[in-house]
Amino acid sequence: MKHTVTSEESGERIDALLSRYSLSRSAAQRLLEQGAVLCGGKSVKKNYKVCPGDEILWEVPEAEESELIPQNIPLDIVFEDEDVIVINKPKGLVVHPAPGHSDGTLVNALLYHCGSSLSGIGGEKRPGIVHRLDMDTSGLIIAAKNDMAHLSLTAQLSDRSLSRVYEAVVLGRFKEDSGTVDAPIGRCPSDRKRMAIVPDGRSAQTDWEVIARYERYTHVRCILRTGRTHQIRVHMASIHHPLLGDGVYGGPVDKGMDTQCLHARFLKFVHPRSGESIELETELPAYFTAALAKLGSPEN
């Protein structure tokens, strides 16, 4: 595969850049260590920071044989065909195996439902996974059934033609009806398990719109321009409106909520094979509507 670095990507680590196009970051790092990625005709290290106009060449490796166990976990399937599958993920379901969650994940469920048809580009632990949702975030998530679909959807994430819209309940009342948070996100220097606004972080932008105001809270719609880890949670906390139930980033845990109130409600993408624009929407889940009911009547 081949990619020419754009001005917007200048200064980004090459392993991070490759992870947005066709590889998991760990897979990209392995290829870089093996000298299998060429930049300007030469092999580079994983921490090489790309420059505008750099030509990067690499080959997508053959899919590794997965050691994951398919598990018959019920799936709320919103859309499915030979190339993609879109799931309405419940709150509490982990997307892929990680320390502390070796099974019982969405990946285990997809392997049972789809068999061997999932794309292998995501790597052994993340077959088919194009983007992620936090364990306690509910809503729409798309997975690829073959490498062609995976490459197309990953490119759409990069050029923002794959749109994701979330709804959240946050602390406090917004004075304005809409706005944008534009602040770089990276690992928190004092706690590597958390993300934070850091000067040398990756560019991140979140548009927000007020849906309804309550006495102490606001129901908002968040539109992602980028897709950084914990982006909405970090951005809302950074402007002093942490998510209801998100204790990690300073959100209040009250009104019967013990996890963050965040739902991926809308998804739009271009179908990898047909080129058709697909728009999908899901209703707010019961935990979310119950939280809204406890807030009382909106004060708009």
| 75 and 126 belong to one structural domain | yes
Answer yes or no: are the C-beta atoms of 32 and 38 closer than 8 Å: no
CATH of the domain at 218: 3.30.2350.10
Last residue in a domain, options 127, 158, 189: 158
pLDDT the model gives residue 123: 63
Helix (H) or strand (E) holding 24: none
Number of domains in the chain: 3
Catalytic, out of 83, 134, 136, 246: 134
Kindly provide the b/e burial profile for residues 39-69, where b requires at least 16 CB atoms within 10 angstroms of the residue's own CB: beeeebebebebeeebebebebbebeebebe
Q: Which residue has the tokens 């058709």?
A: 276
What digits encode the pLDDT tens for the residues 221-246?
999 998 898 999 999 999 999 999 89
pLDDT the model gives residue 255: 56
Last residue in a domain, options 121, 138, 158: 158
| 179 and 252 belong to one structural domain | yes
Kindly state whether residue 300 falls inside one of the protein's structural domains: no
Would you give the DSSP letter of residue 129? B
Kindly state whether residue 62 falls inside one of the protein's structural domains: no
For the question of residue 207 being annotated catalytic, the response is: no
Q: Residue 247 sits in which domain range?
A: 165-264+289-294
| Closest of 127, 123, 135 to residue 110, by C-alpha | 127
pLDDT the model gives residue 270: 96
Give the pLDDT of the chain (300 residues) as one tens digit per residue: 788 988 888 898 998 888 777 666 777 887 888 888 899 888 898 889 999 999 998 876 655 545 788 999 999 999 999 999 999 999 999 998 776 677 889 999 999 999 877 887 666 667 888 888 999 999 999 999 998 999 899 889 888 889 999 999 999 999 999 999 999 999 898 887 899 999 989 899 999 999 999 999 999 999 999 889 899 999 999 999 999 989 899 887 765 666 689 999 999 999 999 999 999 999 999 999 999 998 888 985
What digits encode the pLDDT tens for the residues 239-271?
999 999 898 998 877 656 666 899 999 999 999
Contacts of residue 166, Cβ cutoff 8 Å, sequence gap at least 6 = 137, 139, 221, 222, 223, 224, 232, 262, 263, 264, 265
| 207 and 118 belong to one structural domain | no
Taking the model in full, what pTM does it have?
A: 0.78
Kindly state whether residue 269 falls inside one of the protein's structural domains: no
pLDDT the model gives residue 69: 87
